[in-house]
Amino acid sequence: MIRKSFLIQVKEGMADEYERRHDNIWPALTDIFKQHDVHKFSIHLHKDTGYLFGYIEIEDEERYNAIGDYEVCKKWWKYMAEVLVCENENSEKGKEDILREVFYFEEG
């Protein structure tokens, strides 16, 4: 199992909207996650800073990266870019900072 983590940041005052949009995530997108062996995907908000910590468990890096080739994924990224900090005003998706795992513990 591959564990991936990333940071993104919600625009100031947009945390509630970010959460609302995820409360209504598109079923076509979660279907693609399942098809590409995404086993776990969670996002946590640090309310004071607007930073979002994402955690994903996947089977295969290449299969996971292929999710970005789907039109529904591209539309979701663009939709979410409205509420996320981006590289620039023309970015198609929010700015992600990939985190490197430095410690892991699992019982058993």
Q: State yes or no: pLDDT of 90 exceeds 90.
A: no
Q: Contact 73/32 with Cβ under 8 angstroms?
A: yes
Whether 22 is a known active-site residue: answer yes
pLDDT tens track for 33-61: 999 999 999 999 999 999 999 999 999 99
Q: Among 56, 40, 46, 50, which Cα is nearest to 6's?
A: 56
In the chain, where the domains are located? 2-99
Taken in order 24, 27, 32, 36, the sign of the CA dihedral is positive
Q: Among 5, 100, 107, 95, which Cα is nearest to 50's?
A: 95
Amino acid at 107: E
Q: What is 2-99's CATH number?
A: 3.30.70.100
Give mean pLDDT, residues 89-102. Answer: 90
E-state strands within the chain? 2-9, 38-46, 51-58, 97-99
Give mean pLDDT, residues 4-14. Answer: 96
Q: Among 108, 107, 104, 8, which Cα is nearest to 57's?
A: 104
Q: Contact 97/84 with Cβ under 8 angstroms?
A: no
The proportion of the chain whose per-residue pLDDT surpasses 70, expressed as a percent, equals 100
What pLDDT was estimated at residue 89?
A: 82
